[in-house]
Structure 1
Amino acid sequence: MTRARAHDVVLTHPDGRPLADTEVAISQLTHAFGFGSTGFELVDLANGQDADGSAQALADLWLDVFNTATLPFYWRQFEPERGRPDTERLLAAARWFAERGVRVKGHPLAWHTIAPTWLQPLSTDEVGAAVRARIQRDVTTFSGLVDTWDVINEVVIMPVFANEAALEGDVGPNALSRFCRERGRIATVRMVFDEARAADPRATLLINDFNLGTAYECLIEGLLEARIPIDAIGLQSHMHQGYWGEERVLDVCDRFARYGLPLHWTETTLVSGDLMPAEIEDLNDYQPASWPSTPEGEARQAEELERHYRTLTSHPAVEAITYWGLPDAGAWLGAPAGLVRLDGTPKPGYDTLKRLIRDEWWVAPTPARTDASGHLTLTGWPGEYRVASAGTEQIVVIT
């Protein structure tokens, strides 16, 4: 299946006469599909910090492939001291991407795992008030720059998540887990979605989870029955133990597509080194002393990336795919899951994605000719296109 669509275009002179039998140039301006990656690695560059030029080199690779950036709003890191959020740095990063024609997404607004420690002494009511205030402040501040949010992350496990004394000196139960346990998942999700919707009615709001089983399905059913305004379903796929295969990926798509909402594959990784042992249940438990990228692993990663992206883009419910980190440097769990090696050179997987997205799925500048009535047929994926000839130009949107 291809997402390319034919669109009949009629070109006219400024006075309304058909632009008949005329050579024109077609070029694609934007892609409606979200081909994304994290923008975490470029926040410093956007704030003028790049002493050795390596960040700019990485940015050049990033911009040659992707059109959607996810920026980090992990609350503990964003606001380690109450009332002193890291707003200006992320505003600079969001502007940097937007100026380059990149759509920006924020991740996440509410997540128990990296909640600020200053929440812990608060009462349940006070925790809820702090969460609402955080969402109102940040969604409002970034409105017009960040148009998509992972509003709440991994809520399936949220009320039963135990991290007492486990993270950065935590001394008690996680405050968001406590809130969710006492108020319930549906009430918690309603609170954060209502607050985000009020702060920016135009934003695309996601629920996001790594649990792609029946627990997540049941939660979504309950949320929709409660008429909570979810715009899209986020699906994580950190495949550190190997590619899931086309059958499983399509099964996940089909199961979640039945709710009638767009699907965003929000966190995708494939490793280019040894695979994590299959018996590991919690990916966080695998902590090898060294986890290098290998030539054999890089070849496998490139092949699997092509299979995975072709499979996802073949499903009509999928609207976005975010690869979770361009470089190996700083990759989640230290895995060789990036598309750029530690020395800054691209892996075969990078070349594969660039070929698919920019060569195969993007319309290069193309000559065409109108007929006697000024008609021509433009074929391409949904997005914006410029059709131009001497003295006239028309922007065509394929939906």
Structure 2
Amino acid sequence: MKYLFYLIFPLLIFSQDPSFHEPWELEGASERIEKYRKTNTILNFNFPTEIKKKNGKLKIKLINHDFKFGVGFTQLRKMRGNMFDLYLERFNEVFNYATVGMYWALTDERSGRKQIDKYYDDIIKWSIKNNIRLKGHPLMWHEGMPDWVRYSKDLDELEVAIKKHMRRLIETYPEINDWDVYNEPVGPFKPHIPYSAIQDWINYKGGIYPAMVEIYQFVNSVNPNKNYSNNHYHAKDPEYFKINEYYVQKNLNFSSIGMQAHMQSNDNVMTESQVWDQIEDYAVLGKNIQFTEITVTSSKRFNNWKDHQEFLAKRDESLRNGKEMDLPSLPEYEDFQASYLKDFYTLVFSHPSVSSITFWNLTDKNAWRGHAGGLLYKDLSPKKSFLTLKQLIKETWTTEISEKINISDSFEFRGFFGDYEGEILVDKKLYKFSFSVDKNTDGPVDLVLK
């Protein structure tokens, strides 16, 4: 018996090592990706003049997924010079979607906003140039507000200010099609939330549910054609499911249900079954599901929230004294981060209800709560996790074709939903073209070549 103990004991220790990731089974994931993320497409080629030669060499390449692989741009605002440019360069190597922090405290209409306005304008111009889709985060929240809002006494005036603020964001940035409407809607009265007049206004409107209905109805009166989403830090909270169910029953116009997953302590690291079951639980509501804020650290995780809070209190004190207190990235946890994210992204990408995954911090520099929660080190060099996601998104989940074809025939291929570029070489003349394929594409794609 003692020999059996010696054999089992090290295995138990190994399996409990928080820096070790046991690979997920991912049963059926590859088949689901093939079924739900790809489609058969027929291309018809229309040449400007009749071409006698019928053989051509065709090349087609996916350049942008329809699925949104995102990063939170909250760190970018503090980047300067070469670091700013390198951050965007790294982002562009892998991702096609960015969440831009537009908290009321940053966009305060009563303060001088020239610097932040220029930042937003620059980001939008760069995103358009690089075919990056944007989400504004958020239109409204019970945190991250200026003091004149937090301590407002006249609730009628506050309501006017709330609606003016949301309208201003939607109309000032028409290039942004996705918006988190009210961030963390079932959270205003949680014990850890500091007081603000937003809470008073919610009570003034009759509580969370009627206040949220009014907010959603208002933003839709401003522009009903945006992709409006709900978002919360704890999707396992039954109140969050209830409020989304209520929105559906009230027939509110919103497209997506957002889920955060900041895995900074061992008890918050989601298992394969927890991830899948959470998606399935919300999929019955018939909305797109977005993983809006994902953190998987390469620093040592805390055991639980209590341990984490103790660290955060010490870190806050250190920052008040002008000293940084960040957790270092560790090699064994870098391995965990890379292997865990490979499985997490594969599983989530395979579910047809999910439309986006946003990793919250691209880099460890200025990472949230001082964790090594980025895919890049502080100097913006890649970690294993960055290279892992790059290989998945840009190499494994891609479509690239090079074939000789008869140009008088249609060409059929199976590929991922997204934007494509292509070319045909016929009789020493090169014809270039582009096209897009999504779930709403119906019938052949007719290409007029010039």
Between Structure 1 and Structure 2, how many residues are aligned? Answer: 382
* 1:387 equivalent among 422, 437, 441: 422
1:227 partner SS: coil
- Partner residue in 1 for 2:301: 275
Kindly tell me: are residues 19 and 162 of structure 1, through their superposed partners in 2, closer, same or farther at Cα, counting changes over 3 Å? farther
Alignment of 1:66-105 (within 5 A): 66-79=95-108, 82=110, 84-85=112-113, 86-105=116-135
Deviations 1:176-224 (A, max 9, x none): 1222233222222223222322333322111110121211111111122
> Normalising by structure 1, what TM-score?
0.89
Answer whether contact 2:75 2:367 (CA < 8 A) is retained.
no
Specify every segment of 5 or more residues in structure 1 that has no aligned partner in the other structure, as ranges.
165-172
1:23 is aligned to 2:20: no
Q: Which has the higher helix share?
A: 2
CA deviations over 1:290-347 (Å, ceiling 9, x no partner): 5211000000000001010001001000010000010111111111110111233211
Equivalent position to 2:253, from 224, 229, 237? 229
Contact 2:45–2:407 under 8 Å retained in 1: no
Q: Classify 1:349/1:117 alpha carbon distance in 2 versus 1 (closer, same or farther; 3 Å).
A: same
Write out per-residue CA displacement over residues 126-162 of structure 1, whole angstroms, 9 at most, x where no aligned residue: 222111000111110100x211111110111114456
1:122 and 1:135 mapped to 2: Cα distance?
Answer: 20
CA contact (8 A) 1:12 1:18 kept: no
Q: After alignment, is 196-205 or 28-37 more displaced?
A: 196-205
- Which amino acid in structure 2 is aligned with residue 67 of structure 1? N
Of 200, 211, 222, the match for 1:199: 222
Work out whether 1:178 is the aligned partner of 2:163: no
User: Contact 2:257–2:287 (CA<8 Å) still a contact in 1?
Assistant: yes
Unmatched runs of 5 consecutive residues or more in structure 2: 1-31, 315-324, 439-450
Contact 2:99–2:136 (Cα < 8 Å) also in 1: yes
1:72–1:16 distance in 2 versus 1, CA, 3 Å: farther
Give 1:57's aligned residue: 86
Query: Aligned match of 1:251 in 277, 285, 292?
Result: 277
C-alpha contact 2:98 2:134 (8 A) present in aligned 1 = yes
- 8 Å contact kept, 1:240–1:275: yes
1:127 aligns with 2:166: no
Matches within 5 A, 1:1-12: 1-2=32-33, 3-12=37-46
Give the deviation of 1:44 after TM superposition.
5.8
CA distance in 1, matches of 2:156, 2:391: 51
Query: Aligned equivalents of 1:188 and 1:19: distance in 2?
Result: 67
Map of 1:155 onto structure 2: 185
CA contact (8 A) 1:159 1:178 kept: no
8 A Cα contact 2:62 2:416, kept in partner: no
Shift of 1:266: 0.4
Root-mean-square deviation (CA), in Å?
2.3
Q: Which amino acid aligns with 1:360?
A: T
Name which one, 1 or 2, has greater alpha-carbon Rg. 2
TM-score calculated relative to the size of structure 2: 0.79
Distance in 2 (alpha carbons) for counterparts of 1:88 and 1:118? 24
The 3-state SS of whatever aligns with 2:177 is strand
For residues 212-223 of structure 1, the aligned pairs below 5 Å read 212-213=235-236, 214-223=238-247
Alpha-carbon deviations, 1:44-69, whole Å to 9, x = none?
66xxx41xx22222222111011111
- Report the counterpart of residue 289 of structure 2 in structure 1: 263
Aligned partners of 2:307, 2:156: CA distance in 1, in Å? 32
The match for 2:8 is none
Q: Assess, with a 3 A threshold, how the Cα gap between structure 1 residues 283 and 106 changes in structure 2: closer, same or farther.
A: farther
1:108 aligns with 138
**Distance between the aligned counterparts of 1:370 and 1:311, measured in 2?**
36
The answer (yes or no) to whether the contact 1:159–1:181 under 8 Å persists in 2 is: no
Matched, 1:210 2:233: yes
Post-superposition Cα deviations, 1:258-306, rounded to whole Å, max 9, x if no partner, equal 110101110001010211212x169655426552110000000000010
Instruction: Tell me the distance in 2 between the aligned counterparts of 1:395 and 1:344.
Output: 33
**Counterpart amino acid of residue 129 in structure 1:** V
Name the CA shift for 1:290/1:159 in 2 (closer, same or farther; >3 Å).
closer
Residue identity (%) = 25
- Give a deviation string over 1:63-114, Cα, whole Å, max 9, x none: 10111111110111321x6264443331222222222211111111111121
Contact kept in structure 2, 1:19 and 1:373, CA below 8 Å:
no
2-structure distance, mates of 1:238, 1:350: 17
Q: Is the 8 A contact 2:152 2:158 kept in 1?
A: no
Give the CA deviation at 1:163.
Answer: 4.5
Specify whether residues 283 and 4 from structure 1 end up closer, same or farther in structure 2 by C-alpha distance, changes over 3 A only.
farther
Deviation at 1:362, TM superposition (A): 2.5
Shift in CA distance, 14/224, structure 1 to aligned 2, threshold 3 Å: same
Q: In structure 1, the residue corresponding to 2:94 is in which secondary structure? A: coil
SS of 1:370's partner is strand
Change (3 A) 1:187 1:83: farther
CA contact (8 A) 1:8 1:377 kept: yes
Match of 2:377 in 1: 341
Larger displacement relative to structure 2 (195-204 or 70-79): 195-204
1:397 counterpart SS class: strand
Worse overlay, 81-90 or 188-197: 81-90
Distance change in 2, residues 1:17/1:200 (3 Å): farther
In structure 1, C-alpha distance between the alignment counterparts of 2:242 and 2:308, rounded to whole Å: 24
